Each structure stands twice: as structure tokens, then as C-alpha cells.
């Protein structure tokens, strides 16, 4: 498509958008008495208008039924995680039994590492990307130390080549091959939170398995953003939060994937809790843990009903929109955003897009490296009613989200960015 840098063109794209009505299903935060230009779904997604009603139903069942809500509520709490499986699985490309909604992301990551990081004298190394989100770094460091090893020795960090901002897939695969005999685990983000780079998870998983290692991903910035095929790629495990692109509220409940090939493996270690125990025997209160089949067998405690209710409301929207349609719009939104930013005509010595230009290597987010007066530019954008994300030392993350952002949003942002840089 040949883009045009004018508001009439942006509005024509919006008029042709088959997903345009989904915007009306979200609350857009106001700034200065009018709707903001909200481009921060990579940090916190907007509130679905159905979320309050979904949580209210559980409040009513609690009010009117008390403990009987577990069995006789509108959505009986005893089985709540099961109501989410099918639609959650569609978001990440999994079989329903391979996913479970529980806890939060870092808790789930630790639970997965208990199972999938089992170092020995020969295999003990972990490969991850340098500059991974801090919670991933801390989880890997603490797990390595828990096993009596040293992070500086056990953790191999992938860094871009000099003068580059993102990793080359060939370099990732070569590093996996080089450390193969000592490699226990490859654990990376599906998308790097800082640069917005989408990693080739299929190729990385294949290389990791050929090296004899397990492979897992943190999909915090990928779930609800890009097309995922976790089952097909044979990823061993994955974890993700639901409060970013999945619009399920601050600190919302998280998701976990465990490939079906591991679901009934009694030799795989895990931390156990009664909600992961065989549900047919759960209330017999006997010793001897018998995990449920599938990812549900990694549950520890009964579900957090109110966050799960909000997440259920959001998943209903995703099921109606479908991930393939959202991805198509996302690619067009970011392509238009990239075109508009480049059309500002600012030198790369001042403003640089560090997210890959290849659509296959990026999701909703474009990361702008502002070499001069970055914080000042960000503050001007904020004052003008644009809600974005700032990352030290000088990156502005811009994430037009297809469920609720418009092409007009993108055009108006670019115009304000132009004025903010010039001023």
C-alpha cells in the first residue's frame, strides 16, 4: 500500500477497518478534557467495558451464595480455570489442555524453571538475551544460585553485534550450537521489551532441542500481540501476563503453557499444590500428589476469581476479533506509523527506530531512540495528551494496539511528535 501523510488518508483507512467497532468496547482515558491518544498497551492494556460487569457477577454470587458459589454460581468457582482454556489456547497457538491461567508471570516462571532447569555436572548453562526484562534476569539468577552455581558462569547472554540494536537469528542459533553439550535451557522473551524485536521462536526451539536442551519463552509482550504457534513449534514451556495486550487489569492473573509431551511425565520435577492434584480425588485430602493431566497439573492454589473474571471478559473480545485479523491490522498500523515517523525528516543522529523494519520481526511496538533531549520530547508528548512509555536512558516505546487504536491516532501522534522535536 502507498501511504499518504494526511488526516483524510488516515480516516479512510479507519473507515475500511473491519475491526473499528472494537474500540467502542474499551474505555479511552481522558486527558485535558478529551480522549487521549493511548499508545501504551504494551505496558497496560485498556479496560474492557464488560470487565466491571464480569467481576460484579462474581460479587453477586459471593453475596448471595457464599461458599456455595464454588458449586452453584453463575460460573462455579471450582472449575473457573477451565472456562478460560479454549480461548486462552487460541491466543497462544496451543491445545486447550496445554494452557492454564494462574498466579502471576514471575511466579509461573519460577514454577516452570523448577521443572525445566535441572542442571548437572555436564549440562548447566542457560542462554538468554542480554537486557531481558529484569524479572526474567532475577528469576534465572536466583534459580542458578539455588542449584549452587554462579550466574556469571551458568548464564550466557546474547548481545547484538557492535553498532546494532537487535539480535541476529543466525547469531542466536550459533551460540546455541557452540554451547550445546553444556546447555540445559534456552529461556528468552518472545519479544524483547526494550527494542520490540520478535525472536524466531520456531528456529530457536528447534536449535535448542537439537542441542539437547529445554526451550521456554516469556511471552509478556507477545501474547495477544503476534501470532503464536506454541504447540506446533514444540516449545517446552511459556509464561505470560495478561495485563498488557490482553487487557485484563493491573497485576492481572497470568498464563502458562506446557507442551502436551510433558503433561504426564512423572519424572519431571515440579512444586505441587492441591489445586494441581487429580480433581476427582482433591477433596479426599490424602497425602501423595497425583497431578492432573496437562498444564493444570502445575496449579498450586485455587484460582483468583475476580482477576480471572476480568480476563474472561477480555478473552471473549479476542475470540470475536480473532488473532489473525488483529495481526493483519497491527502490521498495517505499525507500517503507517513507521512511514509517518520517517516522513518527519529528522536525522538518525536525533531520532532512530530501533525496532526491526521487517514486519515478521516486530509486533505492535516501535521503539524510538531519541539521541537529543529525549525526556523533553517525551514530556511534550505527554502534555499534548499522548500516553506512552519511557525507558531509560532514551527510548520512547510506541504501541498502536489494533483492538482500540486507530490510524487517526497514529497520524495525530506523528504530528505531535514532529512538533515536540521541532520545539
User: Which domains occur in the chain, in start order?
Assistant: 7-35+323-422 (3.90.1150.10), 55-319 (3.40.640.10)
Closest CA to 388 of 376, 379, 398: 398
Q: Identify the band that residue 347 occupies on the pLDDT scale cut at 50, 70 and 90.
A: confident
pLDDT reported for residue 349: 80
Q: Got the DSSP string for 356-416?
A: -SSGGGB-S-EEEEE-SSHHHHHHHHHHTTEE-EEETTTEEEEB--TTT--HHHHHHHHHH
pLDDT reported for residue 1: 85
Q: What is the mean pLDDT of residues 304-330?
A: 98
Residues 51, 59 contacting (CB under 8 angstroms): no
pLDDT tens per residue, range 354-368: 999 999 999 999 999
133: Cβ–Cβ under 8 A, 6 or more apart, which residues?
189, 193, 218, 220
Q: Identify the band that residue 103 occupies on the pLDDT scale cut at 50, 70 and 90.
A: very high
pLDDT tens per residue, range 38-56: 999 999 999 999 999 999 9
pLDDT reported for residue 352: 95
**Res. 404: pLDDT tops 80:** yes
C-alpha cell at 255: 498464563
**Res. 195: pLDDT tops 90:** yes
Average per-residue pLDDT in the chain?
A: 96
Amino acid at each position: 500500500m502507498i501511504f499518504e501523510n494526511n488526516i483524510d488518508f488516515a480516516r479512510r483507512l479507519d473507515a475500511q477497518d473491519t475491526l473499528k467497532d472494537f474500540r467502542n468496547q474499551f474505555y479511552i482515558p481522558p486527558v485535558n478534557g478529551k480522549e487521549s491518544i493511548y499508545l501504551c498497551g504494551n505496558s497496560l492494556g485498556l479496560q474492557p467495558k464488560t470487565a466491571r460487569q464480569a467481576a460484579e457477577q462474581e460479587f453477586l454470587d459471593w453475596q448471595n451464595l457464599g461458599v456455595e458459589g464454588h458449586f452453584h454460581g453463575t460460573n462455579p468457582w471450582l472449575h473457573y480455570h477451565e472456562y478460560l482454556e479454549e480461548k486462552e489456547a487460541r491466543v497462544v497457538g496451543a491445545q486447550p489442555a496445554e494452557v492454564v491461567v494462574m498466579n502471576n508471570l514471575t511466579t509461573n516462571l519460577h514454577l516452570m524453571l523448577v521443572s525445566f532447569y535441572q542442571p548437572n555436572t555436564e549440562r548447566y548453562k542457560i542462554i538468554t538475551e542480554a537486557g531481558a526484562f529484569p524479572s526474567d534476569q532475577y528469576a534465572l539468577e536466583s534459580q542458578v544460585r539455588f542449584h549452587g552455581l554462579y550466574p556469571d558462569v551458568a548464564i550466557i547472554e546474547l548481545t547484538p553485534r557492535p553498532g546494532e540494536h537487535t539480535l541476529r537469528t543466525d547469531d542466536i542459533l550459533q551460540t546455541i550450537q557452540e554451547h550445546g553439550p553444556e546447555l540445559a535451557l534456552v529461556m528468552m522473551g518472545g519479544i524483547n521489551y526494550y527494542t520490540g524485536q520478535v525472536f524466531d521462536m520456531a528456529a530457536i526451539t528447534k536449535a535448542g532441542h537439537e542441542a539437547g536442551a529445554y526451550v521456554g519463552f516469556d511471552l509478556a509482550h507477545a501474547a495477544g500481540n503476534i501470532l503464536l504457534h506454541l504447540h506446533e513449534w514444540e516449545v517446552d514451556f511459556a509464561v505470560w501476563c495478561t495485563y498488557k495486550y490482553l487487557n485484563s487489569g493491573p497485576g492481572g492473573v497470568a498464563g502458562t503453557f506446557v507442551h502436551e509431551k510433558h503433561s504426564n511425565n512423572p519424572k519431571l520435577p515440579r512444586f505441587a499444590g492441591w489445586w494441581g492434584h487429580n480433581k476427582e480425588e482433591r477433596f479426599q485430602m490424602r497425602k501423595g500428589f497425583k497431578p492432573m493431566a496437562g498444564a493444570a497439573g502445575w496449579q498450586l492454589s485455587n484460582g483468583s476469581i475476580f482477576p480471572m473474571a476480568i480476563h474472561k471478559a477480555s478473552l471473549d473480545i479476542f475470540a470475536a476479533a480473532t488473532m489473525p485479523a488483529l495481526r493483519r491490522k497491527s502490521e498495517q498500523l505499525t507500517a503507517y506509523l513507521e512511514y509517518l515517523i520517517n516522513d518527519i525528516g529528522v536525522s538518525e543522529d536525533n531520532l532512530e527506530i530501533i525496532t526491526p523494519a521487517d514486519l515478521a520481526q516486530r509486533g505492535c511496538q516501535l521503539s524510538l531512540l531519541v539521541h537529543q533531549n529525549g525526556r523533553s520530547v517525551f514530556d511534550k508528548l505527554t502534555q499534548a495528551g499522548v500516553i506512552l512509555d519511557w525507558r531509560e536512558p532514551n527510548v520512547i516505546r510506541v504501541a498502536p494496539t489494533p483492538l482500540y487504536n486507530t490510524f487517526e491516532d497514529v497520524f495525530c501522534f506523528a504530528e505531535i511528535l514532529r512538533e515536540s522535536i521541532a520545539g
